[in-house]
Amino acid sequence: MDKEFKSVCVMGLGYIGLPTASLLGTKGYQVTGVDVSPSVVETINQGKIHIVEPDLDLLVKSAVNAGNLKASLEPCKADMFIIAVPTPFKDGYVPDLSYVEQATRTIAPFVEKGNLIILESTSPVGTTDLVAEILQEHGHNTAEDVFVAHCPERVLPGRILIELVQNDRIVGGINETSTKVASDFYKEFVSGEVLETSAKTAELSKLTENSFRDVNIAFANELSLICDKEHIDVWELISLANRHPRVNILQPGPGVGGHCIAVDPWFIIHRNPEQSKLIRSAREVNDAKPEWVVNKVKEKAERFKQPVIACLGLTFKANVDDLRESPALAITKQLIEENIGEIIVCEPNIKTHKDFELCSFDEAVDRADILLLLVDHKPFESLSAAKLSEKIVIDTRGIVK
Ligand code: SAJ
What pLDDT band is residue 301 in, cutting at 50, 70 and 90? very high
Euclidean distance between CA atoms 354 and 323, whole angstroms:
12
What pLDDT band is residue 321 in, cutting at 50, 70 and 90? confident
Q: What is the distance in A from the centroid of ligand 1 to the CA of 85?
A: 19
Q: Of these residues, 9, 70, 151, 206, which one is catalytic?
A: 206
| Whole-number pLDDT of residue 4 | 82
Nearest of 319, 311, 183, 322 to residue 254 by alpha carbon: 311
Cite the DSSP H helix spans in 302-393.
Answer: 327-337, 361-367
CB 276 within 8 A of CB 311: no
What is the number of the ligand 1 atom nearest to the C-alpha of 259?
Answer: 23
User: Tens of pLDDT along 181-203?
Assistant: 999 999 999 999 999 999 999 99
List the beta bridge partners of residue 70.
Answer: 32
Euclidean distance between CA atoms 66 and 31, whole angstroms:
11
By CB neighbour count within 10 A (0-12 exposed, 13-18 middle, 19+ buried), where does 169 fall? Answer: buried
Query: For a substitution probing ligand 1, which of 150, 210, 324 has the most ligand atoms within 8 Å of its CB?
Result: 210
Q: What is the distance in A from the centroid of ligand 1 to the CA of 398?
A: 18
| Whole-number pLDDT of residue 213 | 98
Euclidean distance between CA atoms 33 and 53, whole angstroms:
18
What is the number of the ligand 1 atom nearest to the C-alpha of 157?
Answer: 24
CB 183 within 8 A of CB 214: no
Query: For a substitution probing ligand 1, which of 256, 285, 373 has the most ligand atoms within 8 Å of its CB?
Result: 256
Q: Which fold has domain 207-395?
A: Rossmann fold (3.40.50)
- Binding pocket residue ranges, ligand 1, CB within 6 Å: 122, 153-157, 209-210, 213, 217, 250-251, 253, 256-258, 260-261, 316-317
Helix (H) or strand (E) holding 308: strand 308-312
CB 258 within 8 A of CB 322: yes
Query: For a substitution probing ligand 1, which of 166, 211, 213, 326 has the most ligand atoms within 8 Å of its CB?
Result: 213
- Intervals of CATH 3.40.50.720 along the chain: 7-192, 207-395
Q: Which fold has domain 7-192?
A: Rossmann fold (3.40.50)
User: Tens of pLDDT along 10-40?
Assistant: 999 999 999 999 999 999 999 999 999 999 9
What pLDDT band is residue 2 in, cutting at 50, 70 and 90? low
From atom 27 of ligand 1, which residue's Cα is the shortest distance away? 156
CB 318 within 8 A of CB 376: yes
Task: Provide the 8-state DSSP code for 15.
Answer: T
Our answer to whether residue 76 is catalytic in this structure is no
| Whole-number pLDDT of residue 158 | 85
By CB neighbour count within 10 A (0-12 exposed, 13-18 middle, 19+ buried), where does 195 fall? Answer: middle
Return all residues near 106 (Cβ < 8 A) that are at least 6 apart. Answer: 11, 34, 75
| Whole-number pLDDT of residue 3 | 65
CA atoms within 13 A on the CB side of 131: 35
Our answer to whether residue 260 is catalytic in this structure is yes
